[in-house]
Structures are given as structure tokens and as C-alpha cells.
Amino acid sequence: MNIDIVYDNITNLLKENHMFAEIGVMPIENKIEFEIHRGDWKHDHLRLDLLVQDYLNNNGIHFIKSECVTEEDGGDCYSSIHYYRLLGVS
């Protein structure tokens, strides 16, 4: 599967589920990144990961997931970038 198709499908999936994240694609590294600003750990960050991972698993796409926290204040909300490196996708 092509990374652009995966990107389009995930973008549509997030819109359908009223998820708001800045989405970017890094084709050379086979990565898709999702940036969430001041999102709740469960309702935004965890929900994003569950939707994306569900889509990837259901389409037989293996991945490596990482996250970089960019802002936190000790509360339930924080900002971060979720990275998904897609394996076997061109």
C-alpha cells in the first residue's frame, strides 16, 4: 500500500471521528505524524492512537509508534507529536 493512500484514509477517519490533529507525512522515512496541542490524555491522545492503530492493524500494516511530548504542565492535558513509522509501505 502507498503511504499517500494510508495518509488520506487516516485523515478521513480522524475527520469522521471529530479528531483534531495536525497531520504530516514524511515519505522518505515512511512516517506519518500527528500533532495534538493541549489535548486530554484519554480523549485526544489515547483516542488518536486507538483509531490509527486500529486502522493500521485492520489493513495489515505493521508500524513502530513513538511520541514526543512538546508541552506539559502536570495536568491531564499536554501537547505532543505521535509518530508512526510504517513498515512495508512505499
> Which neighbouring-strand residues pair with 39?
78
User: Is residue 80 situated within a structural domain?
Assistant: no
DSSP letter assigned to residue 3: H
* Residue 29 structural domain: 3-66
State yes or no: pLDDT of 59 exceeds 90. Answer: yes
Residue 54 parent element (H or E): helix 47-58
C-beta separation of 32 from 6 below 8 A: yes
In the chain, the number of structural domains is 1
State yes or no: pLDDT of 47 exceeds 90. Answer: yes
Residue 69 parent element (H or E): strand 62-72
pTM, full prediction:
0.94
Average pLDDT estimate for 25-53: 96
For residue 31, the model assigns a pLDDT of 96
For residue 1, the model assigns a pLDDT of 82
